[in-house]
Amino acid sequence: MHQETEAERIAKRTERRKLIDSWRSAISKEKHDFIDYRSKFLSSATYSSLRHHLSPEIVRMIEAPRTFYVGGARGDNIRQYTLLDEVARLEREWGLL
């Protein structure tokens, strides 16, 4: 079994930090209304690179043909905040905080 070197750990951490930053930036900039979101974001390279890191429940919710509306502070952008929460979870799991 291959023992990861310090250089490999640093490279892995750097690559993960780049992924986190690119996902967070793309999600924050994306318009998350239902029509644009389904047609653009779900077929984007950003979502493709993020999808396999998401929990199965989140993938089902994000890709569902319909998602219920939740009013209030986070209601208008529930998909955006859900994805940002998942990115934050990955950031913690990868020890990048």
Tens-place pLDDT, residues 6-53: 999 999 999 999 999 999 999 888 765 555 556 578 888 999 999 999
| 58-69 tens-digit pLDDT | 999 888 876 555
Q: What pLDDT was estimated at residue 61?
A: 86
What is the rounded distance in angstroms from the CA atom of residue 33 to the CA atom of residue 78? 10
Give pLDDT, residue 1: 80
- Stated as kind and residue range, the H or E segment containing 5 is none
| Helix, strand, coil share (%) of the chain residues, nearest 5 | 70, 0, 30
pLDDT at 62: 84
CA 34 – CA 88 distance, rounded (Å)? 23
